[in-house]
C-alpha cells in the first residue's frame, strides 16, 4: 500500500472544476482545504492497475493546478522483510 497527501494550489474561481476533475483520477480523494485561498487537501492511494505516482502526475498536469506540495507519503513496502529479520 502507498498513500500520499498533497496540498494543491488552484485559483479560487477554478476550485469547483478542479475538484470535479480530481475525483475522476483513480485513487484520489479531496478532503477539503481552503477554497477561498486556493488550496485543496488531497490524498492519493494506489490500487489495482494504477500507481500513486501515476495519479500524482495526473493531479499535477491538470490545467487548473498552479502547484502541488507533497505533505506526507507512506508505503508498507519492505515491512515484510523487516518482520522476517526480527
- If 0-12 CB within 10 Å is exposed, 13-18 middle and 19+ buried, where does residue 56 land? buried
The model's pTM = 0.86
**What pLDDT does residue 39 have?**
97
Complete edge-to-edge strand list for the sheet that includes strand 28-34: 28-34, 39-45, 2-10, 65-75
pLDDT band at residue 86 using 50, 70 and 90 as cut-offs: low
How many structural domains is the chain composed of? Answer: 1
Structural domain harbouring 39: 2-85
Residue 16's contacts (CB-CB under 8 Å, 6 or more residues apart) are none
Nearest Cα to Cα of residue 26 among 47, 4, 7: 47
**What pLDDT does residue 76 have?**
87
Scan for cell 490524498, then name that residue: 43
**Which CATH number characterizes residue 62's domain?**
3.30.70.920
Amino acid at each position: 500500500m502507498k498513500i500520499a497527501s498533497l496540498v494543491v494550489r488552484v485559483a479560487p474561481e477554478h476550485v469547483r472544476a478542479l475538484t470535479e476533475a480530481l475525483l475522476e483520477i483513480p485513487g484520489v480523494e479531496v478532503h477539503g482545504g481552503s477554497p477561498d485561498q486556493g488550496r485543496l487537501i488531497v490524498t492519493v492511494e494506489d490500487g489495482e492497475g494504477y500507481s500513486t505516482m501515476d495519479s500524482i502526475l495526473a493531479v499535477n498536469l491538470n490545467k487548473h493546478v498552479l502547484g502541488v506540495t507533497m505533505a506526507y507519503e507512506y508505503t508498507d513496502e519492505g515491512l515484510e522483510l523487516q518482520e522476517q529479520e526480527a
